[in-house]
Structure 1
Amino acid sequence: MRRIFALCAVAGIGFTALAASSPAQAAYHLIRWQDSGFCQIWDQSIPTAPYPGNYTVIVRSEVPTFGDALAFKDGLLRNGTCSL
C-alpha cells in the first residue's frame, strides 16, 4: 500500500511540475453584444462560443494578454464604440 501511495505522490508532483513549467497560451478577443452595445473580453481558450449568439467580434486579431485586452476595451469605451 505504501508503494502505491508513493507512486501516486510522485506522479502528482510530476504533473504539477509539468503544468507549472509550460506557459499558458491564452488569447483574447473583444466582442460587442448587439442588443445592449456592451463590450466584453472573451477568452479564446474556452471551448464554447458566447451565448446567446447575438454578438459581433470587434477585434479579429487575438490580443495576447488580458491586460492588453482591458486597455483596448478602455479605449473603445472612451471613443463611444462600447457602452457601459
Structure 2
Amino acid sequence: MSRFTTACIVGGLAAASAFASTPAQAGYYILRWDNTGICQVWSEAFTFKPIRWPSGYKIVSRPVPTFNEAVNLQVRLRRQGRCTL
C-alpha cells in the first residue's frame, strides 16, 4: 500500500471513531420560577439541577432539540402571558 492510501485509511478511521464517540445532542426546556414568573431556558446537558432556593421552579415545556427552538418557545410563552421575562 502506498503512504497516501494508508494515511487516508487512518484518517477515515479516526474520523469515524470521533463521530461515533460524540454524545447525542441534549434537549432544552423552559423553567418558570415561582417568585418572579421569569422563564429560563435550561439544557439537559447540565450535570446539575437548578437550585430551588430562594424560590422553586416548574418545568413548563416539553424538551425541544435546539437552543433556537427553546428561545422561540420562551418568547411565545411570554406573549401568552405565562412568563414575565
State the TM-score, normalizing by the size of structure 1: 0.70
In the other structure, the counterpart of 1:55 is: 57
Moved more, 44-53 or 27-36: 44-53
Cα RMSD (Å): 2.4
Question: How far has the Cα of 1:47 moved from its partner?
Answer: 1.1
In the other structure, the counterpart of 1:78 is: 79
Counterpart-to-counterpart distance in 1, 2:47 and 2:22: 20
Deviations 1:22-42 (A, max 9, x none): 465120010000000000000
Q: Pairwise mapping of residues 12-51 of structure 1 onto structure 2 (< 5 A)?
A: 18=18, 22=22, 24-51=24-51
SS in 2 for 1:75: helix
5+ long unaligned stretches in structure 1? 1-13
Question: How far has the Cα of 1:73 moved from its partner?
Answer: 0.5
Percent identical among aligned pairs is: 36
Runs of 4+ displaced beyond 2 Å: 21-24
Question: How far has the Cα of 1:70 moved from its partner?
Answer: 0.5
Question: Aligned AA for 1:45?
Answer: A
The structure number with the bigger radius of gyration is 2
